[in-house]
Amino acid sequence: MTDLPPILCIGAALWDVIGRSPAPMRPGADVAGRMTRQCGGVALNIAMALARQGQRPALLAAIGRDTMGAALVAELNARGVETAYLYRAHDLPTDAYMAIEDPNGLVAAIADSHSMEAAGLRLTDPLRDGRLGTPQAPFMGMIALDSGLTEAQLRDLATDPVLARADLRLVPASNGKAERLRPMLTRPNTTFYVNLEEAGLLCDQRFTTTPQATRAMLAHGVARVLVTGGAAPATDADAHDLITRTPPAVQPRRVTGAGDTFMAAHMAAEHAGQPRAQALEHALQIAADHVATP
């Protein structure tokens, strides 16, 4: 196992279809706007953002052998993401996500990630069969894992020896799937990346500030957590330190992918050896640049 990728991204990989309205929308609104199709899925977004940061990530995800899947793999290769470890089955279609945005942000979204859930822990086969590691000699680099897998699958992974020596970074695949990460709350050497709402779902509380949310997450057994609050201050906390920084002020032009961009930039900064405060500031700047770019 030589020349292994230093960072793995495990989870959702699909096509995003995003409609953007120039005017605010209410439920039932039918307005003119622009539609775009782009690579999506939390794990995929993180992998592409890591590649933009000069890293060499590998993606472990389920992508179909259909036309949409072939196009997605070609796009990933073109963007510097390693695709040799994908799970590709003839009987699973490529997943998809559809979102509607207006100037105030996300209006609504639907994710069809049934193929990923059906593939389940087969996504992690390269960590077991010697390509990236084995249970006896597990992968030792960074792993970004989203919560697109089912809660039962994530519970199995929480104690799986193939992750025993990894620097594990966890992120909800969506607000609705945040609670799937509960089996991982007390796992050592694990960092959570969540927003205020996701922290609230994991802790069964409501939070108004990110320092408040990080303290509650630590009280629930989390080793380390980064909580973001949109334009409000973000906080990185563990048992020893609590670091809070305010994001740069920008005019938002888009919101989809901001959290993934933040996480990838933070991982890249820490992988490069930046101190925690500097890594947080770097990630907030990169995420702000993403939000400000249409």
Instruction: Collect the ranges in the chain with pLDDT lower than 50.
Output: none
Q: What is the model's pLDDT at position 2?
A: 59
Query: CA-CA distance, 265 to 281, in Å (whole number)?
Result: 10
109 backbone dihedrals φ, ψ, rounded to 5°:
-155, 150
Q: What is the DSSP-derived secondary structure letter of residue 87? A: B
Place of tokens 């307005």: 31
Instruction: Judge contact between 191 and 180, C-beta under 8 A.
Output: no
Give percent of the chain with pLDDT exceeding 90: 87
Q: What is the model's pLDDT at position 77?
A: 98
Query: CA-CA distance, 210 to 95, in Å (whole number)?
Result: 32
Comparing C-alpha atoms, which of 287, 289, 293 is closest to residue 259? 287
Instruction: Judge contact between 69 and 91, C-beta under 8 A.
Output: no
Query: CA-CA distance, 114 to 110, in Å (whole number)?
Result: 12
Query: CA-CA distance, 251 to 293, in Å (whole number)?
Result: 9
All structural domains of the chain, each given as residue ranges with its CATH number in brackets, are: 7-292 (3.40.1190.20)
Q: What is the model's pLDDT at position 174?
A: 86
Give the bridge partners for 40, in sequence order.
14
- DSSP reduced 3-state for 238: strand
Comparing C-alpha atoms, which of 158, 223, 159, 156 is closest to residue 184? 158
Q: What is the model's pLDDT at position 130?
A: 97
Residues in CB range of 233: below 8 A, 6 or more apart: 209, 210, 211, 244, 245, 246, 247
Q: What is the model's pLDDT at position 129?
A: 98
Residues in CB range of 73: below 8 A, 6 or more apart: 63, 83, 86
